[in-house]
Structure formats: structure tokens, C-alpha cells
Chains A and B, each alone.
Chain A
Amino acid sequence: MSAQVDTALQVLEKQLNRPLVVALEACARCGLCAEACHYYLAEPSIDHVPAARGEALRRAYRAEHDFLSRIFPQWTGAEKLNEESLAKLAEMAFSQCTLCRRCAFNCPMGVDTPLMMRAVRAMATASETAPELLVMLADAAIEKGKDPSFFRDMFVEQMADLEKELQTKMGDPAARITVEREGAKILYVPLAGEHTIMPPAIIFNAVKEDWTLSIFEAANYGVFLGDVARAKQIAARIIDEAKRLGVKEVVLAECGHAYASFRWEAPNWFGETFPFKVTSLIEKLDEYVSEGRLHLDPSANPELITYHDSCNMARTGGVIEEPRRVLKAIAHNFVEMTPNRHEAYCCGGGGGLVALPEYTERRLKAGKPKADQIRKTRANIVVAACENCRLQIGEISEQYGLGVEITALADLVVKAMRLPATRPEVEKLFAGDPATVSSN
């Protein structure tokens, strides 16, 4: 047995907890999961049946754990893991399953195939057969946590520029973007890029929230690798930052996997109850809207709008009605896709696939059911509370000629706020007035 295969099997052994064993043992091969999977709907073949994907791992599992399989492997379909089958398993887990969990929700036995696919991803990562790019993105994020000093000053400087822009947009010289301010109530964790900072900054300032900005990003590529050790290191950056600043709440950007993992998995990884609440920006928007803290004009969003439920946000995270309540407050013409909520189809870009160019063709093909859903709504705008979904829906819109605009929920909320127009005199007022960014 090669060292690679040995490592992969060791990782499988380590992961064999009760839920994984149930997933490996309980499949009745009924095939009901087939039509629950967007890959199967896009290309009906046995390879795209979730049960068949699970079976690929079961063969290796049985060879190690089933008495009969050890003696008569041909009777049970058991097969010792080897380098070739490990490479095939890895390819399947990273490119033919987005970990969307729709199959698990539709399985009468409750078989969690994505849990098995995560186990395979972990095996592949440990045996160095996982996609290099995902490993690289996770390691770059970990590097930022080791020594933030190499980018912190640049980040603060960048936020000073953004604060100036914010003040101009809001017509409010008191609007602030503070970075890692001690004692703030809320720590907002964005994604890389100002498109996930400016709209929440406008909203937080409008409701006079006591907030500050994290220097880290919410995305966690360790989760996509199924690698809990890396995922923990990435999450620890934010946990340590939140504890150091003494915040009461960590609000995560509109990012599906970041929310599902940080909110629901991280406390288990660390075996502790965090001294702060973890929420998604979507939940905060719902809170502000419900409390009437935002002045909103739904006529500012006259287009026909639909909402895409990110699998991690809705199916795993349970954030389902919150975005709908917000949408009803900020737009007149909202239409649901069918099916929706926890039965929504994956866009095809989950599980880290949008970051893997080698699987672009496969990913766009798997996005066809979502494209069909969107087309049927006749909507002009698709709102998605997840960056991966937005990137994927943008691409499938082009691929399938949907011609829709894709946006985050916070962007539409800002539109409904009807900020003071960016008039030349307002811009002049702020020109040459260096904004101060408080930074502790």
C-alpha cells in the first residue's frame, strides 16, 4: 500500500463517527436521491446519483470494516483503496458534489452523502490529491492570521479611502468605518473586496450601530477541503479577534459556507461556547427592517426580483424567512423560484467549485437546473446571499442567456434607502478632507 493510500485510510478511520458510519451503512439503494441532485438533473447518468457516489467510498470502507467483504469482496462489491481509486474518489468529491445536502434532505433513510464526500475531501487533502488551488487559498488565509502586520496598515489605509467615499455617499461627515475598534458591540467580517464592506457600512451607519470591521475575511477554504485543522486555523483568526475586541456579536458577510461553518460547526471544532453571538448580515438586515430602523422605499426597486436560497445559508444554516421579509420591505415585485427554501436547487458553484477553473465546464453544466428555475420566474434581478452563488449565477446567466442582474441583499437594501444623490457639491465638500479611521 502506498503512503498516500495509507494516509487517506488513516484519515477515513479518524473520521468514522456515528453520523458517518450511518451514512456508510444505511443506504437502501432506492435511488430517490437521484432527482434531488442538480448534477443528475443536468445530466442523468449513474455517476450523478448521490447513492452511487456514496457507494464509491463504501467499497473502500467495506474492504476495511466488513468481515464478509474481507473474505469474499466480490460478493459485497468491496474494493481495497489504491492510488487509482483514491484519485477517482477525490476527483468525484471535488467536482461532482457541491456539498449542497439536497440529497440528504430527500433521503428517506437520512443518508448524508455530502458528509461522505467531505470525508473523501479530507482523505484527499491529507494525501495531497486535493485541488492545489483550494489548498493554496486556505494556506494564504492561514498566513494572514499568523502575522496580520504585513497587510494591516494597507488595509486600514484602504478603509480610510472607503470611509471618505461612504461619507460622500451618505452625505454624512460623521459616518465611520472603524477597524478592529475595541469595545464595539458588533464585529462585522466581510469578504475580500469592498463590495462586501460598503453596503453594510452604509446600513450600520444609518441605524447608528456600534460596529467595527474585521481585518480578516469570512470565507473559509479549509471547510471546502474537509480539513478541520485548516478550517479551525482560519476560523480562529476571527474568534481571537472577536475575543480580543470584546464584541458581543460577530456578523458575517453574505457568504453561505462561512455562515454555516462558523455558526454551526466552529463551536464543535473548538469544543466551546463562544462569548459572542454569531449571525449573518441577512439576520441583521431582517432585525433592522423588523424594528423599523431603516427608512425604506420599495419603489426604488421596481424590477421583478427573485431570491436564490444558498444551500449553506438555507438548508444548513436555517436562514430562510429572514431574506424574504427584507425583500418584501424593499421591493414590490418579488417572485419565488420553484422549488425554494430548503428544497432549492444548488446553483452548481458551491463546495469551492467557483475557484477551480479545471472544472468550469462541469460546473456550468450543473448550473442548468438553476438557470431553468430562474428563467421560469421571468425575474430581472436575482438576489443571492452568498458570494459563490453570485459568481456562479453570473456565469450561468451568460451561459444560458438569462440576462439577469445578480446582486447581494444588502445592495438592494441600500438602493431602497435612497441615499442623498452624489451631487457635485457634496463631493466638493469632502474633497481634500482626509477621513480619520479609528484603529486600536
Chain B
Amino acid sequence: MSSTVLDLKGLMCPLPVVKIANAIKKVEIGELIEATASDPGVLADIPAWARSSGNELVTMEKVEGKVIRFVVKRIR
């Protein structure tokens, strides 16, 4: 399965959500988008976006320093 990788570090909310929402439209249903972000606002905003848009947040974790890595899957 192909996967898109996005570097959203340095962007402040709502821009990470905006970028993910745009990117998900460009991948096929079932495909994954992996992203890294530094704005901790994504910890709440990405799960909320996934719920309201009907897509799936596969995983979300804090990695080194303040970097957050997450993977979303296009469901619809």
C-alpha cells in the first residue's frame, strides 16, 4: 500500500489540519498519510478532524523532542 509522507513541523494550527485535509483528497481510499508536526495542537485537532471527516487516525505518538508523528488513513 502506498503512503504519502508530510513534514508539517513548524506549522501552527489550523495549518497542519488544513494540509492533512487537502492531502487526503489526493490519495486513494485505503491509502495512508504519515506526517510529523511540532504544534502540540495536533494532538487534539487531528483526532477531532478524523472523527468529523470520517477518516481514520491509525496512530499518533510523540517522538523525539516536541515532534509528533501520526498516520491517517483515507476511509471515504
- Supply 15 A–B pairs (Cβ within 8 Å), ascending by A: A133-B18, A140-B51, A140-B53, A143-B49, A144-B44, A155-B44, A191-B41, A192-B14, A192-B39, A192-B44, A194-B40, A195-B12, A215-B44, A355-B14, A387-B12
Residue ID in chain B nearest A145 by CB atoms: B48
Give every chain B residue within 8 A of A194 (Cβ-Cβ): 39-40
CB distance from A225 to the nearest CB of B (A): 14
Tell yes or no: A151 within 8 A of B by CB: yes
Q: Type the 1/0 row for A253-283, where 1 means its CB is closer than 8 Å to any CB of B.
A: 0000000000000000000000000000000
Tell yes or no: A150 within 8 A of B by CB: yes
Q: Type the 1/0 row for A185-225, where 1 means its CB is closer than 8 Å to any CB of B.
A: 00000011111000000000000000000010101000000
Contact A192-B53, Cβ < 8 Å, known A133-B18, A140-B17: no
Q: Type the 1/0 row for A121-156, where 1 means its CB is closer than 8 Å to any CB of B.
A: 000000000001100110111111000001100110
In angstroms, Cα B51 to Cα A150, docked, is 10
Q: Is the CB of B52 within 8 A of A192?
A: no
Q: Is the CB of A140 within 8 A of B41?
A: no
Q: Is the CB of A142 within 8 A of B52?
A: yes
Tell yes or no: B21 within 8 A of A by CB: yes
Instruction: State the majority secondary structure of interface residues on B.
Output: helix
Give every chain B residue within 8 A of A151 (Cβ-Cβ): 43-44, 47-48
Interface residues on B, range: 20 to 34
Tell yes or no: B28 within 8 A of A by CB: no
Tell yes or no: B7 within 8 A of A by CB: no
Q: Is the CB of A143 within 8 A of B14?
A: no
Q: Type the 1/0 row for B45-64, where 1 means its CB is closer than 8 Å to any CB of A.
A: 10111011100000000000
CB distance from B22 to the nearest CB of A (A): 7
Residue ID in chain A nearest B60 by CB atoms: A154
In angstroms, Cα B53 to Cα A401, docked, is 38
CB distance from B10 to the nearest CB of A (A): 11
In angstroms, Cα B14 to Cα A151, docked, is 16
Give every chain A residue within 8 A of B48 (Cβ-Cβ): 140-141, 143-144, 150-151
Q: Is the CB of A192 within 8 A of B51?
A: no
CB distance from B58 to the nearest CB of A (A): 15
Contact A191-B13, Cβ < 8 Å, known A139-B52, A143-B52, A158-B40: yes
Additional A-B contact list (6), CB under 8 Å, known A192-B42, A192-B44: A136-B49, A136-B53, A137-B14, A141-B48, A151-B43, A215-B44
